[in-house]
Amino acid sequence: MRLQTLSLPEERFKPATDQKPALHVRDLTVAYDRKPVLWDVDLDVPPSLVAGIVGPNGAGKSTLIKAVLDLVPHASGVVEIFGKPYRRQRRLVGYVPQRESVDWDYPITALELVAMGLYRKIGWCKPVTAPHRCRALEGLAEVGMAALAHRQISRLSGGQQQRIFLARALVQDAQIYFMDEPFAGVDAATEKAIIAILQRLREQGKTVFVVHHDLESVRHYFDYLIMLNMRVVAAGPVADVFTSENLRRTYGGRLTLLDRAVDAIGQGTH
Amino acid sequence: MILWTSLDTWIVVAGALAGAACALVGAFLVLRKTSMMGDAISHAVLPGIAIAFIMTASRAAGVMFIGAAIVGVITALLVEVVRRYGKLEHGASMGVVFTVLFAVGLILIERAARHVDIHPEHVLYGAVELVPLHVVTLAGFELPRGVAVLLVTLIVNLTVITALFKELRLATFDPGLATTLGINATAMHYLLMTLTALTTVAAFEVVGSILVIAMLIVPGATAHLLTRRLLPFLVVSVVVAVMAAFLGHIAAIGIPPWFGFEDTSSSGSMATVLGLLFLLAFLAAPEQGVIARGLNLAGLRLSIVTQDALGLLARAAEDPQNPDAGLSFADFCLVSRSPFTARAPALTVALLLLRLRGQVSASGNRYRLTARGRAEALRVLRAHRLWERFFYDDGQVELDELHAAADLLEHYTDAGLRNALAERFAGQSTDPRGRRIP
Amino acid sequence: MITQLLRVLSLADYNTRVVMFGTVTLGIAGGVAGVFLLLRRRALLVDAVSHASLPGVAAAFLLAVTLGGSGRSLPVLMLGALVSGLLGMGCVIIISRFTRLSQDAALGIVLSVFFGFGAALLGIIQKMRGAQAAGLDGFIFGKTASMIRSEALLIGIAALVVIVLTAVLFKELRLFTFDPDFAAGDGWPVQRLDLLLMTLVVAVTILGLQAVGIILIIAILIVPPAAARFWTDNLLVMVLLSALIGALGAYFGTGISAIAPRLPAGAVIVTVLGAAFLFSLLFGSSRGVVRAALWSRAVNRNTLRQNLLRALFEYEESGVRHGMQEQLQYLQSVRGWTVRELRRAIRMLARSGMIYHVSGQPWRFSETGSGAAMRVTRNHRLWEVYLLEHADVAPSQVDQGADFIEHVLGETLVAELEAALPRFGKALPTSVHSLSNADHGGGG
């Protein structure tokens, strides 16, 4: 397939050179089974902010994160973290996958799960030792879960499970975080706790990307917003881009022609 | 030289009856994505059969069927219990249940062998050569007992499936809707499991459990590649199974002698033929076959390059500075934003095809559109500019990005989509750069 | 018979020692590798691989015989098994990738067709003049008696490799079997780890084929870990337990099949493992069925007892005095109990001496009963207040919530609850529901 024809030569774009963006994405196109899910995504997100990623179902929000993290193959595109290719900056990146993506009956405790965030630092073949467990416990304390450290993970509530996922990312000690729907199916207390953590991360100068569903809370939670519907409809400070016009273009039915075209491509090649 | 005896006929008849009975039930297993449940049950009925043997000291069909029905339901229940309490995924839970039951069954069969002439090997391969030895009279005809049992099973399966056709179809394709309409999807599940167990028991004595599993799963899977509608699906499944029984037996007695061996197990050979039939469908199915899809893709590529070439010629024709409205081979590659830059072979193929179709004429080194080619080229150009318009108005794409996106989409624009686009831009006659939309 | 079994189990003979060493180390290796196979959710794929190895075994035999060899050289047969097993795995992947068929169907197709083809080849071999095909039968149902020193050693080495690799890469295996996405995002080579795991599992499968048999070898890998799962929530303990169960199953299974040579060895080993599994399913300390049933029975009884204590307490609190019939009617209506449930609850309390009555008179609290009722009621009302004030729960739902929580949670929580609501001290808060509500049997 010639999806590459959608991407454009690199030199046409002059990236802002004065400040290196936390995340720089150029021409990112992702196709599952030859059917495009993300088209030509361009992003330049400055550091030290909390960015929301919103869009309707199937808009490619999770795919965007996974493509940035190199978890799904992309047809084309460049991803840079603080001005260098993603692969060389991996240790600066933390990730919170969707809660449903794992088997919560897996035989581990909350503490062991959080310690996974330290594995990269521990390195190949070396065991998890007491200092690491201490650090993991601190991580649990940061999300208010220290008391349940030794509980098996299936015996935690949905909100508690989400918190330990967050704690695992926190102990990764990254500069830039990607969180896939951390607010999905959590209780009010957990939601408040997560918000507090997001704010603390921003104060520490870190950059956080959050896939989000609830449009009502967008203004309160985020500084920056990426509105996605297979393509980036708008990206920028919340105050600038969170407009009814952009919302209509993101969620409205005007892109149905494009949907049909995508369908046609999917059927034509499958 | 093949020697065909009445034994051979009975083997084929038994295989075909077993195959048809299995394929009918198996089709639903495949559609419900529970094929391996068929595998599990056909292993798990063994202890039931063995216990029936030991208790009755005979091969009384009635007792075996009752035993099988019970074991079928119990297996399905056990898998559910192990999955729920053991927190195991479905596959692992099935694996635990059927291996353990099968192991217990093997041991019991050893014990049963004292009463009934049976061995673990019979369980796998069946004892098809023993078929004509026991004869029963059914409705005035003298039939081998094994064949009679299979015939009854096939009739039972046919009756149940015909009677519950609507319900099974709904429970298979839309369990949610089925439930709201008062059809119990769980009951349907257990019904299928019971039928599977019954069929397995009827068939295993004659053809062995290997062939039972193959006949349950492979015909349905083959049909899945060939049709999407339920009734043809069932018919294809049964036809595939019957064909495999016939061809399989011929292969079993016919092929080994080519290599200087004696004949071989018919069950194994029938299963192999099933695999080959599946392979055939996998490669050559009209829509989903690998070959068809390869051709489809090649055709698509071809239509893309020819349309690209037509598009370039149409633009050249619009160019007032191009006196003869034609392009040379080199021009095709050098025009700005040409899709043929560094793709000379593709261009050669495209031009050859266009000339064969009479859409392009060549004089000397120059290629020009014919009248027929012009009509087609205008259609392509129209789709391209409509898409550019669409992206510009609705998608807010920058001007210089437009061409690439439209370039891709123009090839996928069928008449319906083109009309929808045209309707959307009814008032617009120009593309974003102010050029006319043909 | 028993002395014979003891002789085998005590490893008195050299041959027995060799066979035992082979099967027990196989059990350990299977138990260890199987844990990760199970957690990676690939159990049935390995079943397909083992079934698909049969034509490889048969073809290797035919080839060896045609080339003038004996055809019974185990390494050759195993190589054949490995090649065709991997071919089968490849077919599963190709079928589920290039068709609309589910992986489930792909597994079934490969498993049955490959095995059927193998059976056809075996059929040819069995009718060959002068070929010693007897050795091949063991591959289907398993045969331990014929195991020789070099085979046992080979299995031992493989087991050692499995154990060492699992120990060294324990952390990595845990990470990628639990959360492959996170592991990949964290920079771990997930695909290579996956390949390593599958290599270990397939190695155990192929090495165990002759001892346990093609059909049942998968059980060596999945039954021990599935049984171990009922006893623990800790991965390391699960691995150790699974290895232990695998070893014991192999030990007793081999022992029994040594004195009953007619029984297929694989079936005996798997039956022993199955018994271990059944025992774990029923009595497992972490997830066992019996334990779960006992626990839910205890909770039910406790709930019934506490509900009656509180209902009776509130009956007395309301100051109304009726005869026994009216009292019973009141209690029944308050909780929506059936007559049987109410009788059961009263019997329970009466037997523990919390309530008593003179025949015909209403039920009264004893001294202990009155204290217990007071405590239960107090907890319930504290919870009501807490839920109302701290958790934004609507008053209409407070009763239910409090009802549920108070039966499940322990004393430390009650202490914390008291700390959160200091204004009540040790006193009994009044019900948050209006009194008239309580009179109508709304509970309180």
Are C12-285 and C291-365 in the same CATH fold? no
- Would the pLDDT of B436 be above 80? no
Point out the residue among C137, C267, C273 whose CB comes nearest to the CB of B106.
Answer: C267
- Would the pLDDT of B341 be above 80? no
Per-residue pLDDT tens for C1-14? 788 888 888 887 88
C14 contact partners, CB below 8 Å, separation of at least 6 = none
Point out the residue among B296, B390, B407 whose CB comes nearest to the CB of A257.
Answer: B390
CATH of domain B6-264: 1.10.3470.10
**Does the beta carbon of C330 lie under 8 angstroms from any beta carbon of chain B?**
no
- Would the pLDDT of C15 be above 90? no
Per-residue pLDDT tens for B234-287? 999 999 999 999 999 999 988 888 887 878 888 899 999 999 999 999 999 988
Chain A contacts of C229, Cβ < 8 Å? Answer: 107
Q: What is the end-to-end Cα distance of chain C in Å, rounded? A: 69
Per-residue pLDDT tens for C95-152? 988 888 999 999 999 999 999 999 999 888 888 766 555 568 788 888 888 788 888 9
A106-124 burial: b if 16+ Cβ within 10 Å, else e: bbbbbbbbbbbbbbbebee
Chain B contacts of A154, Cβ < 8 Å? Answer: 87
Tell me the C-alpha distance between C228 and B124, whole Å. 31
Average pLDDT of the residues in A113-142: 94
In contact, B25 and B157? CB cutoff 8 Å: yes
CATH of domain C291-365: 1.10.10
Using a CB–CB cut-off of 8 Å, the residues of B that contact A are: 87, 293, 296-297, 300, 304, 339, 387, 390, 394-396, 400-401, 404-405, 407-409, 412-414, 417, 420-421, 424
- Residue B394 and residue A255: Cβ atoms within 8 Å? yes
Per-residue pLDDT tens for B92-104? 999 999 999 999 9
Instruction: Compute the C-alpha angle B124/B128/B133, nearest 5°.
Output: 135
Tell me the C-alpha distance between A56 and A50, whole Å. 20
Two tokens, residue A155? 């015996």
Which residue is it, tokens 């081998």?
B144
**Does the beta carbon of A5 lie under 8 angstroms from any beta carbon of chain B?**
yes
- Would the pLDDT of A9 be above 60? no
ipTM, 2 dp:
0.86
Domain B294-424, what fold?
Arc Repressor Mutant, subunit A (1.10.10)
pLDDT of residue A257: 55
Per-residue pLDDT tens for C287-341? 888 888 888 888 888 888 888 888 888 888 877 777 788 888 888 888 788 888 8
Side chain identity at residue C330, one-letter code: Y
- Among residues B44, B21, B25, B45, the alpha carbon closest in space to that of B34 is found at B25
H/E segment holding residue A91: none
Highest mean pLDDT among A32-41, B200-209, B409-418, C242-251: C242-251
Chain B contacts of A236, Cβ < 8 Å? Answer: none
H/E segment holding residue A241: helix A238-241
Question: What CATH class is the domain C371-439?
Answer: mainly alpha
- Among residues B1, B7, B189, the alpha carbon closest in space to that of B80 is found at B189
Query: What CATH superfamily classification does C12-285 receive?
Result: ABC transporter involved in vitamin B12 uptake, BtuC (1.10.3470.10)
How do the domains of chain C map onto residue ranges? 12-285, 291-365, 371-439
Beta-strand pair A176-179/A207-211: parallel
Average pLDDT of the residues in B320-326: 76
Average pLDDT of the residues in C68-82: 84
Chain C contacts of A174, Cβ < 8 Å? Answer: none
- Would the pLDDT of C392 be above 60? no
In contact, B248 and B18? CB cutoff 8 Å: no
pLDDT of residue C202: 94
Query: A253: pLDDT confidence band, cut at 50, 70 and 90?
Result: low
How do the domains of chain B map onto residue ranges? 6-264, 294-424
- Residue A261 and residue B414: Cβ atoms within 8 Å? no
Please, which chains are in contact with C (at least 3 CB pairs closer than 8 A)? A, B
